[in-house]
């Protein structure tokens, strides 16, 4: 179960897909509240599967076996009794490719709240400004809220997707290679934003490069072929890893 410092505790988690792929094997991991935890390693290691398991997006995949526990604030999100809609409000997710809804910038941010039953215009407007400020986007597009979101640049659309998640006031933000398609300037803005957001949110990031992993990690977990090889403080993992496999990957000997 969780301690006061742990937001998420993963215990003995195993995930297998219908094609015979065993994506995760016996994962045990504690994710600290108010920090950036980075999942890194070669493709196919199970990082994205773990993200999707935390907020039950794997319910939509061809998973044939799932055992273990994912405790969020002491409640097992894998329980059949879990309200997945409420869970996904509490645990937001941002994907690699920004997917702006085919509507205005403002509507992208209010859509989820309106689906949840919010009709008060003052609350909706406050959520628009609050989430855009949190995503470091308000000053850039405050005069473009009624334009189609598709007109924003790629970097702005990605931060809009982050703002859309923040509009629902989650407690945890999961990010799966959120800067993989962005230029260095946009990447830097997203990274700066995440460093600020960790004061208020628990952030789990799958980075697009080992360099980004080292820049961003308060804590880091190295995954290889579905197994958690090593977990620890970010600076220590990237400078003095305990495991030979971690050292070989960090120093570029494979992957």
Query: Edge-to-edge strands of the sheet including 202-206?
Result: 91-94, 172-176, 202-206, 36-40, 219-224, 227-233
**Per-block mean pLDDT, blocks of 10 residues, the chain (255 long):** 77 90 91 96 93 91 91 95 92 90 96 89 95 93 97 93 93 93 88 91 95 96 96 95 95 83
Helix or strand (DSSP H, E) at 36: strand 36-40
Cβ distance 36 to 216 under 8 Å? yes
Nearest to 160 by CA among 135, 130, 187: 135
**What is the pLDDT at residue 61?**
83
Beta bridge partners of 206: 176
Nearest to 236 by CA among 221, 252, 224: 221
**What is the pLDDT at residue 2?**
46
Q: Identify the residue whose tokens are 């290691």.
A: 45
| Residue-range domains of the chain with CATH | 6-101+173-250 (3.40.50.300)
């Amino acid at each position: 179960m969780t301690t006061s410092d742990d937001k998420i505790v993963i215990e003995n988690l195993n995930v297998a897909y219908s094609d015979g792929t065993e994506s995760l094997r016996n994962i045990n991991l504690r994710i600290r509240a108010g920090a950036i935890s980075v999942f890194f390693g070669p493709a196919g290691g199970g990082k994205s599967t773990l993200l999707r398991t935390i907020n039950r997006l794997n319910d939509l995949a061809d998973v044939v076996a799932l055992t273990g526990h994912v405790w969020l604030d002491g409640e097992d999100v894998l329980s059949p009794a879990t309200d997945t809609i409420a869970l996904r409000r509490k645990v937001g997710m941002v994907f690699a490719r920004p997917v702006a809804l085919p509507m205005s910038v403002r509507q992208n941010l209010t859509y989820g709240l309106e689906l949840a039953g919010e009709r008060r215009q003052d609350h909706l407007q406050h959520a628009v400004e609050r989430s855009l400020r949190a995503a470091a986007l308000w000053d850039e597009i405050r005069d473009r809220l009624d334009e189609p979101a598709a007109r924003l640049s790629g970097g702005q659309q990605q931060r809009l997707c982050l703002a859309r998640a923040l509009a629902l006031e989650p407690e945890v933000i999961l990010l799966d290679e959120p800067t993989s398609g962005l230029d260095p300037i946009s990447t830097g803005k997203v990274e700066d934003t995440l460093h600020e957001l960790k004061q208020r949110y628990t952030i789990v990031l799958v980075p697009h490069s080992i360099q980004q992993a080292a820049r961003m990690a308060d804590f880091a977990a190295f995954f290889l072929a579905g197994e958690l090889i090593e977990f620890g403080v970010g600076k220590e993992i990237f400078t003095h890893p305990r495991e030979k496999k971690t050292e070989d990957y960090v120093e570029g000997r494979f992957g």
